[in-house]
Amino acid sequence: MPPPGSRWRAASRSSRAPRWRTGWRRRPTCTGCSDMAGGLMVLSFLAGLMIAAQGPIYARTAAGLGGALPATLLAFSIATAALALLVAWRGPVPRAQALAELPAWVWPGGLIGVCVILVSIQAVPRLGAAGYLVLLVAGQMAGGMLWDRLGAFGLAARPVNWINLLGVALVLAGAVLAVWRRV
């Protein structure tokens, strides 16, 4: 049952798919979310296009600067400057107390970004942008399913079923095919 005051409500009988397609569980729907969903899908697709450009950009930067570490430092320096400008313009500036109250496991998050950039600098020239990205997505899906299952990082625990496992297996098979004979 959704919490009181939430935007979620149970789907009405007429808006639900037949029981043979959905099982016996009622599917929640979000009132007012459909207008947002189309725009978020387009933005997500555009973000994917930008992520696809990152690997080749980082690889070229590394080649020009003489290594992966200077390229990563440049990337994070530019990102930090851009974020500082956005926070100064749009706010809010985080309070010291709010930072102190964050759980310890949030602090290494930036280090994950450094690792991803360092790997992309090495992998993209060898695997190609598409090969690197399909392996990245396969890892994201496997990790996401694991984090969902464990309820890690403050997520609500979600069960894993055979359809989820099949989806990840198909992406992993696609990843192997995408990089076949490139290594």
Identify whether 146 is part of a domain.
Answer: yes
Identify whether 20 is part of a domain.
Answer: no
Report pLDDT for 98: 92
Identify whether 121 is part of a domain.
Answer: yes
Identify whether 151 is part of a domain.
Answer: yes
Compute how many other C-beta atoms are within 10 angstroms of the C-beta atom of residue 11.
13
Closest to 25 measured CA to CA, from 40, 10, 14 = 10
What is the value of pTM for the model shown?
A: 0.68
> Which residues span the domain enclosing 97?
49-179
For CA atoms 62, 65, 68, 70, the dihedral sign is: negative
Contact 117, 58 (CB under 8 A): yes
- Each of the 183 residues of the chain gets a pLDDT tens digit; together they read 555 554 555 544 455 555 545 554 555 555 555 667 778 878 888 888 888 889 899 999 999 999 999 999 999 999 999 999 999 998 888 899 999 999 988 988 889 989 999 999 999 998 888 888 888 988 888 898 899 999 988 888 999 899 989 988 998 888 888 887 766
Alpha-carbon distance of 154 to 152, in angstroms, equals 6
Q: Is the bond preceding 92 in cis, omega lying within 30 degrees of 0?
A: yes
- Single-letter code of the amino acid located at 149: R
Report pLDDT for 129: 87
Alpha-carbon distance of 120 to 58, in angstroms, equals 7
Report pLDDT for 81: 96
Identify whether 140 is part of a domain.
Answer: yes
Identify whether 109 is part of a domain.
Answer: yes
**What total of structural domains would you count in the chain?**
1
Identify whether 154 is part of a domain.
Answer: yes
Identify whether 14 is part of a domain.
Answer: no
Residue 30 phi/psi, 5-degree rounding, is: -105, 115
Q: How far is CA 110 from CA 38, 55, 73, 156, in A?
A: 30, 17, 12, 23
Report pLDDT for 182: 65
